[in-house]
C-alpha cells in the first residue's frame, strides 16, 4: 500500500515548511509555477507573488521567505538589482534565477549573492524539481546546524550559570563569562519563584536592556543579568517590578546585590535565592532584596566556609577565598574568623600560631596566618593517618617480637620522631601500648579456657612464660593462674 505524503498543514506543525516567493512578470508563467509547486511539494509554502523587482523587494521584507524564484528581466528594477537590495536586508535568503536568456554574464554577476541555481525558460519540470530539492536540502542542513549551535550555546550558558552560583568562582568560569559577554561591567542575580523559564525569558526580552542567561532549577528560574555599565540597586529593582507585572501576580522575584567584582556573583545568587524564599513565606511583597540583617548571615556563612576549608588543611583554597571576600568582611567578621580558626586548633590539642589579631594589618599577614593554620591542620591529619597505620600494624603483629623501630619503619618515619608522635597520640609510649594490647588478648584467651597458660604466653608474644606471668600480674594485680582459677569458680 502506498504511503500518503504529509499535508502542508502537518509539515507546518512540524516546523519543516519551506517558504518561497515567486518574482515573475509574466502572469501565466507565475501562476503555473505556483500550481506546480503546491501540487508537488506539500512541505513548501508560496508566501507571495511579485510581478516586478520593486514588488519583490517589498514582499521579501514583509514575508522573509527562505527562497526566491527571481526572473532576471522584469520592468523597472530588474532581477539582479532586486537581488542586491534584498540580499543587503536579509542575506540568508537564497535565490534561484529564472531567465529566457542563456547568459553567462548574468550568472556570473548573480554569483556574488550566492545564487543557488539558474533555470532557463521554459523550465523543464525535472530541472525545477532538482533545483528545489537542492535548495531544500541545503536549508534543512543549515537549520540543523543552527539548532545544534543554539543547543550548544544553551548548554554552555546553563553550565556557566551553575558555576556562577557557587563560590569560590574558578578562573575558568570568569574567563568563560567574559568570553560570552566581553562588554561586562557588572552583573547580578534574580531568582524567580513560581514561573516558567520561557515566561521569564519572554518578559526580560521585552523589559530589560541588559543581556541575561537563565536556567530552570526545580521550582525556580535563576537569572544572571549582565550589564555593560555599573548596575545600581534602583535599576534592577525597577526591572524586577516590570518583570513581575509582565509575568503575573503569582510570582516572587528575589534580587541579589549588583556585583562589580565578578567574584562576588555567588553571593548575589545566595542573596537573591534567600530573598525569594522570604518573599514567598511572607506573602506581602512580590519583589525585593534580602534585608541587611539577613545579608550579615551570608557573611557568617563565608566565615563558616573559610573555617571548613582551613580545617581540611587546604591552604591555597583558604587564601583564594580570603582574597575574594576580604573586602566584604568587617573588622568584627575578621576577628571572629581569627578566633574560630585558633579555637579549631586548640580543641584538637594543636598549638596555634603565635600571631596576635592586633598585628594582622595587611592581606599578607592574613595569608601567613592562614598558611600556618592550614599547615598545622594538615600535619594533624597526617599524624592521625600515620598513627592509624601504626596501630593496625601493631594489632597485626603484636604476637611477634616487634620493636619501636619495626613500627616506625612500617610508616616510613624515624624511630625518634615516631616515638614522640605516638606518645602524643596515645598518652603512653610504644612499649606500654604494646603490653596493653598483649595483656588484653591474653585475658580474652584465658576467659575462653581453650589453651594452656604456656600456649597463651607464646600466642601473645612472650617466649618466657614466667616473664609473661610477671607482666600479667603487674597489669591486672593477679597472676594468670589466679585469674584463671577465678574464672573457673564462676
Tens digit of pLDDT for each residue in 200-246? Answer: 999 999 999 999 999 998 889 999 999 999 999 999 999 999 999 99
471-477-479 Cα angle (round to 5) = 60
pLDDT band at 123 (very low <50, low <70, confident <90, very high): low
Residues 218 and 337 in one domain: no
Q: What's the CATH code of the domain at 31?
A: 3.40.50.2300
Query: What is the Cα–Cα distance from 224 to 265, expressed in whole angstroms?
Result: 9
pLDDT in tens, 377-428: 888 777 777 888 888 899 889 998 899 999 888 888 788 878 887 887 788 8
Query: Which 3 state secondary structure label does DSSP give 181?
Result: coil
pLDDT attached to residue 384: 74
Q: What's the CATH code of the domain at 457?
A: 1.10.10.60
Q: What percent of the chain has a predicted confidence (pLDDT) above 90?
A: 30
* Strand order from edge to edge, sheet including 186-193: 211-217, 220-227, 186-193, 252-255, 287-289
Q: Tell me whether residue 151 is in a domain.
A: no
Q: Tell me whether residue 405 is in a domain.
A: yes
pLDDT attached to residue 126: 79
The mean pLDDT value for 345-364 works out to: 86
Residue 186 has pLDDT above 90, yes or no: yes
Q: Tell me whether residue 442 is in a domain.
A: yes
pLDDT attached to residue 122: 63
Residues 138 and 25 in one domain: yes
Continuous H helices in 398-429: 404-410, 415-426
pLDDT in tens, 44-78: 899 999 999 999 999 999 998 999 988 888 888 88
Residues 354 and 235 in one domain: no
Query: Which 3 state secondary structure label does DSSP give 288?
Result: strand
Query: Per residue in 342-363, is it b (16+ CB within 10 Å) or e — as a string?
Result: bebbeeeeeebbebeeeebeee
Query: Which 3 state secondary structure label does DSSP give 150?
Result: helix
Place of cell 608474644: 461
Residues 178 and 282 in one domain: yes
Residues 282 and 395 in one domain: no
Q: Tell me whether residue 237 is in a domain.
A: yes
Query: What is the Cα–Cα distance from 280 to 296, expressed in whole angstroms?
Result: 21
pLDDT band at 2 (very low <50, low <70, confident <90, very high): very low
The set of cell numbers assigned to 327 is 573586602
Mean of all residue pLDDT scores within the chain:
84
Q: Tell me whether residue 152 is in a domain.
A: no
Residue 72 · residue 80 · CB < 8 Å: yes
Residue 155 · residue 147 · CB < 8 Å: no
Query: What is the Cα–Cα distance from 318 to 12, expressed in whole angstroms?
Result: 58
The last residue of one of the domains, among 256, 290, 324, is 290
Residues 313 and 278 in one domain: no
Long-range contacts of 104-113 (CB under 8 A, 24+ apart): 106/72, 106/80, 109/80, 110/80, 110/83, 113/83, 113/84, 113/87
Residues 376 and 388 in one domain: no
pLDDT in tens, 313-345: 888 888 888 887 776 677 778 888 888 898 888
Place of cell 602524643: 424
Residues 171 and 284 in one domain: yes
The mean pLDDT value for 141-147 works out to: 76
Residues 410 and 465 in one domain: yes
Residues 394 and 318 in one domain: no
Q: Tell me whether residue 445 is in a domain.
A: yes
Residue 133 has pLDDT above 50, yes or no: yes
Q: Tell me whether residue 338 is in a domain.
A: yes
Q: Show the domain range for 474.
A: 384-489
Residue 280 · residue 193 · CB < 8 Å: yes
Query: What is the Cα–Cα distance from 139 to 133, expressed in whole angstroms?
Result: 10
Residue 12 has pLDDT above 50, yes or no: no
* Domains identified in the chain, total number: 4
Residues 279 and 309 in one domain: no
- How distant, in Å, are the alpha carbons of 22, 48, 135, 236, 381 from that of 45? 11, 9, 14, 44, 73
Residue 365 has pLDDT above 80, yes or no: yes
Residues 114 and 184 in one domain: no
The last residue of one of the domains, among 261, 290, 319, is 290
Q: Tell me whether residue 109 is in a domain.
A: yes
pLDDT attached to residue 102: 55
The last residue of one of the domains, among 341, 362, 382, is 382
Q: What's the CATH code of the domain at 242?
A: 3.30.70.250
Residue 82 · residue 97 · CB < 8 Å: no
Amino acid at each position: 500500500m502506498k504511503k500518503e505524503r504529509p499535508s502542508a498543514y502537518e509539515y507546518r506543525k512540524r516546523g519543516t515548511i519551506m517558504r518561497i516567493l515567486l518574482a515573475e512578470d509574466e502572469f501565466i508563467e507565475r501562476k503555473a509555477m505556483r500550481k506546480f509547486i503546491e501540487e508537488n511539494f506539500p512541505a513548501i509554502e508560496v508566501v507571495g507573488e511579485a510581478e516586478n523587482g520593486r514588488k519583490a523587494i517589498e514582499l521579501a521584507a514583509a514575508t522573509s521567505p527562505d527562497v526566491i524564484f527571481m526572473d532576471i528581466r522584469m520592468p523597472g528594477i530588474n532581477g539582479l538589482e532586486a537581488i542586491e537590495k534584498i540580499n543587503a536586508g536579509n542575506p540568508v535568503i537564497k535565490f534561484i534565477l529564472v531567465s529566457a536568456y542563456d547568459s553567462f554574464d548574468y550568472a556570473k554577476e548573480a554569483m556574488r549573492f550566492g545564487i543557488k541555481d539558474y533555470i532557463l525558460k521554459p523550465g523543464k519540470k525535472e530541472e525545477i524539481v532538482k533545483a528545489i530539492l537542492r535548495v531544500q536540502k541545503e536549508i534543512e542542513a543549515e537549520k540543523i546546524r543552527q539548532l545544534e549551535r543554539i543547543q550548544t550555546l544553551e548548554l554552555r550558558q546553563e553550565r556557566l550559570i551553575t558555576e556562577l552560583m557557587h563560590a569560590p568562582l574558578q578562573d575558568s568560569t570568569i574567563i568563560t563569562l567574559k568570553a560570552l559577554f566581553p562588554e561586562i561591567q557588572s552583573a547580578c542575580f534574580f531568582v524567580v519563584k513560581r514561573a516558567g523559564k520561557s515566561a521569564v525569558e519572554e518578559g526580560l526580552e521585552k523589559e530589560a536592556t541588559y543581556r541575561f542567561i537563565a536556567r530552570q532549577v526545580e521550582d525556580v528560574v535563576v537569572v544572571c543579568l549582565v550589564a555593560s555599565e555599573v548596575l545600581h540597586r534602583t535599576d534592577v529593582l525597577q526591572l524586577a517590578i516590570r518583570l513581575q507585572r509582565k509575568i503575573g501576580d503569582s510570582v516572587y522575584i528575589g534580587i541579589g546585590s549588583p556585583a562589580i567584582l565578578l567574584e562576588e556573583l555567588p553571593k548575589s545568587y545566595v542573596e537573591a535565592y534567600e530573598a525569594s524564599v522570604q518573599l514567598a513565606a511572607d506573602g506581602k511583597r512580590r519583589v525585593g532584596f534580602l534585608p541587611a540583617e539577613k545579608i550579615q548571615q551570608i557573611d557568617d556563612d563565608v566565615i563558616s566556609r573559610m573555617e571548613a576549608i582551613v580545617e581540611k588543611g587546604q591552604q591555597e583554597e583558604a587564601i583564594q577565598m580570603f582574597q575574594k571576600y576580604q573586602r566584604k568582611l568587617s573588622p568584627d567578621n575578621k576577628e571572629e574568623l581569627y578566633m574560630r580558626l585558633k579555637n579549631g586548633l586548640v580543641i584538637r590539642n594543636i598549638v596555634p600560631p603565635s600571631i596576635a589579631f592586633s598585628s594582622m594589618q595587611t592581606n599578607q599577614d592574613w595569608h601567613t596566618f592562614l598558611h600556618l593554620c592550614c599547615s598545622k591542620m594538615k600535619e594533624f591529619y597526617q599524624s592521625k593517618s600515620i598513627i592509624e597505620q601504626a596501630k593496625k600494624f601493631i594489632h597485626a603483629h603484636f604476637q611477634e617480637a616487634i620493636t619501636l623501630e619495626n613500627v616506625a619503619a612500617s610508616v616510613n618515619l624515624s624511630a625518634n620522631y615516631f616515638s614522640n608522635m605516638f606518645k602524643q597520640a596515645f598518652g603512653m609510649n610504644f612499649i606500654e601500648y604494646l603490653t596493653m594490647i598483649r595483656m588484653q588478648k591474653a585475658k580474652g584467651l584465658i576467659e575462653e579456657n581453650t589453651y594452656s597458660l604456656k600456649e597463651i604466653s607464646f600466642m601473645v608474644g612472650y617466649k618466657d612464660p614466667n616473664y609473661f606471668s610477671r607482666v600479667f600480674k603487674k597489669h591486672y594485680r593477679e597472676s594468670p593462674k589466679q585469674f584463671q582459677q577465678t574464672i573457673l569458680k564462676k
